[in-house]
């Protein structure tokens, strides 16, 4: 007998789930998208489950019919896929209907249709060049494949030094999965990393991967989704949102650069794609492979405690050495030691490249009034405006506010001094120091789209530029054969932040950038500028001693009961005025203090975060940490339900927050 009723998830605020009738002849199953009438309006809804009968309390009430099924095929036919989304919504304290809406709303047009997938046969086989694996790579690949064949799907952390060929291991494991008729989901932290990854995988596997990320237009994304869903695509490369889509033939999830903070969603739901991938693997019984040259403290801790398997790639192919690291002190914003300048000149003459990592956008990082001393700030956000020479304007990097440099917002003076160095000024300095050299800048302002970025990256790979200056966009995932040298300006700037994760981030960023050098035949070298030369990071970084560093870092964390030895949640309050933000934060704090009294929870009073006003909204944070959040979650759920709906005030909760100092 076919089910006569469907429990629908309604993507409308205030309504979660409703039963609708399935008339005779209509076939809809869990995971389908259907059209219904709600309050005289036609809307779409998601079928959570179907049933033969209504719950007793609803039997006497009228039940409206489902008008039609929008999706041709069930999207989430596998109950475990829906269970994964339910887990994600529940764990990260986000309403399930809103999550469903986020996933499907971009696809569904106002006329309540799903776009037709365009016939792009990208996934067909092409000639390819499989790599010859080194002994280390072959051993790791063989061990992983054997383990997975035996049914051991415990997640694995693949720790391999930069340039050790982790991506060759991934490609070999992908081939094994394809041979078994399975799909592979390959997650990358950022869209900017996908171009190089796609090229590499295509070369190695002879298959054009299907790309799935939120920057695609809804139609392209739906096409990719349809190819993935139908099983036509074997390899799906995507950013964190790709994890939310169902893949019926999934056999393996690879999380490349697993340490990267971009895997954490910075708006609700605050899910961490790496952690969610581990959970998806558990629910679906799939292996998950996490790879990094600088694993996150959580993953290292999990590997150390046996929660993950640990595999190592300790050296580069052919025993090529990691590039030696030389430190130089900070002597000014654009300072470079004369020895380095000479070396760069020699390299230019030999057509070798040098990469300068300057992780600051714009020309000057602040504009200071010479008359009243006021630092020019965004009127909408509590942040300093950055001068962009290309546009000759001061800009806010958070709300895109823009204004001419003068006059001073406080006293009207025309005398403003542009201080601090961003990448634009640094590039200008390079052009002065090395006249005639071909300089390219890889940053979001110079290369606003994917096409421009891919073009420049291809030119660098072909040896078309002498000097490359880049922000974090250039720091990982790229292979430049002619790169001789990496120079890291303000290498330990991150250590000046009041964030317990500062040392870990600093070690990761510098190691990743340094790792771009010496990956091919050309020996590499790395120059780093240190502000805080006595920090313990410097005991390990020059030797690339990640294990030594992370062990010391974890010993501190354990002593101070910081993550991963405790769990951190941050309640975020956003209100239209400062008073309202304070009032709401205080009320929530008092409630939490009462509700959590006597439990092993450290609750910190509400504070204004470093960026306390964004888009004219005032923000307050309230952090709590506990050995486990399981007991705290119901309390937080209650708080969100009570405070989340107040007019003008938005209360959200970042579970497993990466930092207490997060923006």
Partner 1 sequence: MNTVKLVAVAACALLLLAACKNASDETRLKRREVLYHFNPIAGDCVALFGEGAVRKSTPAQVLADLSERLDNLAYIGIENDAMHIDLPWPYDDIDVPVKIEKNDDALRINGIHGKIALSFTAYALDGQNTVLRLDGKFCHPMPRLLKENVLANCIKNIVKKIRKARD
Q: Which of 168, 234, 260, 275 binds partner 1 (CB under 8 A)?
A: 275
DSSP 183-235: EEEEE-S-GGGHHHHHHHHHHHHSBPPEEE-TTS-HHHHHHHHHHHHHT--SE
Tell me how far, at minimum, the Cβ of 500 lies from partner 1, in Å.
18
- What span, in angstroms and rounded, lies between the C-alpha atoms of 250 and 89? 22
Q: Which is nearer to partner 1, 86 or 374 (CB)?
A: 86
How far apart are CB 231 and partner 1 at their closest, in Å? Answer: 24
- Residue whose pair of structure tokens reads 């789930």 in the numeric block: 17
**Binding pattern to partner 1, positions 566-605, x when CB under 8 A?**
-x--------------------------------------
Q: Which is nearer to partner 1, 305 or 498 (CB)?
A: 305
- Spell out, one character per residue from 630 to 659, where the chain touches partner 1: x when CB under 8 A holds, - when not: xx-xx---------------------x---
Residue 292 phi/psi, 5-degree rounding, is: -170, 155
- Segment lying near partner 1 (by CB under 8 A), choices 34-42, 301-309, 363-371, 446-454: 301-309
- Shortest CB 94 distance to partner 1, Å: 14
Tell which one of 298, 525, 553, 654 touches partner 1 (CB under 8 A): 298
What is the C-alpha to C-alpha distance for residues 335 and 483, in angstroms, rounded to an integer? 21
Q: Does 91 bind partner 1 (CB under 8 A)?
A: yes
Tell me the closest approach of the beta carbon of residue 282 to partner 1, in angstroms.
4
Rounded (10°) CA dihedral 515, 518, 523, 527: -30
**Buried/exposed code over 6-45 (b: 16+ C-beta within 10 A; e: otherwise):** bbbbbbbeeeeebebebeeebebbbbbbbbbeeeeeebbb
Q: How far is the CB of 92 from partner 1 (least distance, A)?
A: 10
Q: Answer yes or no: are the C-beta atoms of 513 and 488 closer than 8 Å.
A: yes
Q: Is 263 in the site for partner 1 (CB under 8 A)?
A: no
Nearest-angstrom CA–CA distance, 499 and 495: 8
Q: Interface with partner 1 includes 83 (CB under 8 A)?
A: yes
- Measured from the CB atom, is 199 or 307 closer to partner 1? 307
Token output for 42? 């036609």
Compute the least distance from the CB of residue 612 to partner 1, in Å.
29
Interface with partner 1 includes 362 (CB under 8 A)? no
CB nearer to partner 1: give 62 or 285. Answer: 285
Minimum CB–partner distance for residue 268 and partner 1 (Å): 17
Choosing from 12, 219, 220, 307, the residue that interacts with partner 1 (CB under 8 A) is: 307
**Alpha-carbon gap, residue 125 to 112, rounded angstroms:** 35
SS3 (DSSP) at 91 = helix
| Rounded distance between C-alpha atoms, residue 515 and residue 629, angstroms | 37
Distances from the Cα of 450 to the Cαs of 191, 215, 225, 446, in angstroms? Answer: 8, 10, 20, 12
Minimum distance from residue 80 beta carbon to partner 1 (Å): 7
Rounded CA-CA distance 330/489 in Å is: 9
What is the SS3 assignment for 575-638? ECCHHHHHHHHHHHHHHHHHHCCCCCCEECCCECCCCCEECCEEEEEEEEEECCCCCCHHHHHH
Of 19, 87, 330, 520, which one interacts with partner 1 (CB under 8 A)? 87
- The least CB distance from residue 279 to partner 1, in Å, is 6
CA distances for 215 relative to 208, 209, 241, 443, 447, angstroms: 19, 16, 10, 17, 15
The alpha-carbon radius of gyration of the chain (Å, integer) is: 27
Question: How do strand 467-470 and strand 439-442 relate by DSSP bridges?
Answer: parallel
Indicate whether 256 belongs to the interface with partner 1 (CB under 8 A). no
| Residue in 27, 37, 53, 80 binding partner 1, rule: CB under 8 A | 80
User: Within 13 A of 368's CA, how many CA atoms are on the CB side?
Assistant: 8
Residues comprising the chain, all counted: 663
For residues 141 and 633, which CB has a smaller minimum distance to partner 1 in the complex? 633
617 belongs to the binding site for partner 1 (CB under 8 A): no
Cβ nearer to partner 1, comparing 87 with 335 = 87
Q: Which stretch binds partner 1 (CB under 8 A): 30-38, 280-288, 490-498, 535-543?
A: 280-288
Site for partner 1 in 155-174 (CB under 8 A): 155
**Comparison of 282 and 320: residue with beta carbon closer to partner 1:** 282
Q: Is residue 628 at the binding interface for partner 1, with CB under 8 A as the rule?
A: yes
Pick the binder of partner 1 from 4, 21, 282, 327 (CB under 8 A). 282
Q: Which is nearer to partner 1, 224 or 284 (CB)?
A: 284
Total residues interacting with partner 1, rule: CB under 8 A: 27
Peptide bond into 564 cis (omega under 30): yes
272 belongs to the binding site for partner 1 (CB under 8 A):
yes
Binding site for partner 1 (CB under 8 A): 80, 83, 86-87, 90-91, 155, 272, 275, 278-279, 281-283, 298, 302, 305, 307-308, 567, 627-628, 630-631, 633-634, 656
């Amino acid at each position: 007998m076919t089910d006569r009723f469907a429990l629908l998830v309604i993507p409308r605020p205030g309504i979660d789930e409703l039963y609708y009738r399935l008339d005779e002849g209509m076939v809809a199953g869990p995971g389908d998208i259907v059209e219904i009438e709600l309050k005289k309006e036609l809307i779409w809804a998601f079928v959570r489950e179907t049933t033969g009968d209504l719950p007793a309390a609803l039997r006497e009430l009228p039940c409206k019919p489902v008008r039609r099924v929008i999706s041709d095929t069930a999207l989430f036919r596998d109950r475990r896929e829906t269970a994964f989304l339910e887990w994600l919504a529940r764990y990260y304290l986000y309403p399930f209907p809103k999550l469903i809406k986020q996933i499907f709303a971009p696809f569904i047009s106002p006329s309540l249709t799903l776009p037709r997938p365009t016939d792009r046969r990208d996934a067909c086989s092409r000639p390819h060049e499989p790599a010859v694996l080194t002994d280390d790579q072959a051993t790791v690949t063989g061990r992983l494949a054997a383990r997975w064949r035996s049914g051991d799907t415990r997640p694995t952390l693949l720790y391999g030094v930069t340039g050790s060929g982790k991506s060759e291991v991934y490609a070999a494991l992908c081939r094994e999965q394809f041979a078994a008729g399975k799909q592979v989901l390959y997650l990358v932290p950022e869209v900017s990393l996908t171009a190089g990854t796609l090229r590499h995988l295509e070369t190695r596997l002879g298959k054009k991967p299907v790309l799935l990320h939120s920057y695609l237009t809804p139609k392209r994304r739906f096409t990719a989704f349809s190819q993935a869903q139908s099983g036509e695509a074997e390899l799906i490369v995507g950013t964190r949102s790709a994890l939310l889509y169902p893949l019926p033939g999934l056999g393996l999830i690879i999380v490349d650069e697993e340490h990267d903070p971009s895997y954490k969603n910075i708006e609700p739901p605050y899910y961490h794609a790496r952690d969610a991938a581990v959970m998806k693997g558990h629910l679906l019984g799939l292996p998950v492979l996490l790879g990094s040259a600088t694993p996150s403290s959580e993953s290292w801790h999990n590997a150390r405690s046996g929660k993950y398997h640990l595999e190592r790639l300790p050296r580069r192919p052919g025993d090529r050495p990691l590039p030696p690291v030389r430190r130089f002190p900070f002597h000014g914003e654009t300072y470079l030691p004369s020895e380095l300048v000479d070396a760069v000149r020699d390299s230019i003459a030999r057509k070798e490249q040098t990469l300068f990592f300057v992780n600051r956008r714009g020309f000057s990082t602040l504009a200071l009034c010479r008359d009243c001393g006021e630092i020019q700030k965004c009127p909408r956000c509590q942040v300093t405006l950055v001068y962009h020479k290309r546009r000759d304007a001061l800009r806010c990097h958070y709300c895109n506010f823009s204004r001419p440099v003068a006059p001073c917002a406080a006293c009207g003076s025309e005398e403003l001094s542009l201080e601090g160095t961003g990448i634009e000024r640094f590039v200008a300095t390079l052009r002065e120091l090395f006249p005639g050299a071909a300089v390219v800048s890889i940053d979001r302002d110079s290369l606003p789209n994917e096409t421009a970025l891919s073009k420049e990256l291809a030119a660098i790979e072909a040896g078309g530029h002498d000097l490359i200056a880049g922000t974090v966009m250039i720091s990982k995932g790229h292979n430049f054969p002619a790169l001789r040298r990496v120079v890291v300006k303000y290498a330990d700037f991150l250590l000046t932040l009041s964030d317990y994760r500062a040392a870990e981030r600093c070690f990761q960023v510098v190691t990743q950038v340094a790792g771009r050098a010496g990956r091919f035949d050309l020996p590499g070298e790395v120059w780093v500028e240190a502000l805080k030369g006595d920090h313990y990071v410097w005991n390990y970084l020059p030797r690339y001693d990640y294990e030594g560093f992370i062990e010391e870092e974890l010993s501190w964390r354990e002593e101070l009961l910081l993550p991963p030895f405790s769990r951190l949640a941050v309640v975020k309050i956003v209100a239209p005025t400062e008073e309202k933000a304070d009032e709401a934060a205080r009320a929530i704090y008092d409630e939490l203090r009462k509700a959590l009294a006597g439990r092993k929870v450290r609750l910190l009073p509400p504070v204004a975060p470093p960026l306390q006003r964004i888009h004219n909204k005032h923000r307050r944070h309230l952090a709590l940490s506990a050995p486990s959040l399981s007991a705290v979650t119901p309390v937080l759920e209650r708080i969100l339900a009570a405070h989340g709906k107040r007019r003008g005030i938005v209360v959200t909760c970042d579970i497993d927050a990466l930092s207490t100092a997060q923006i």
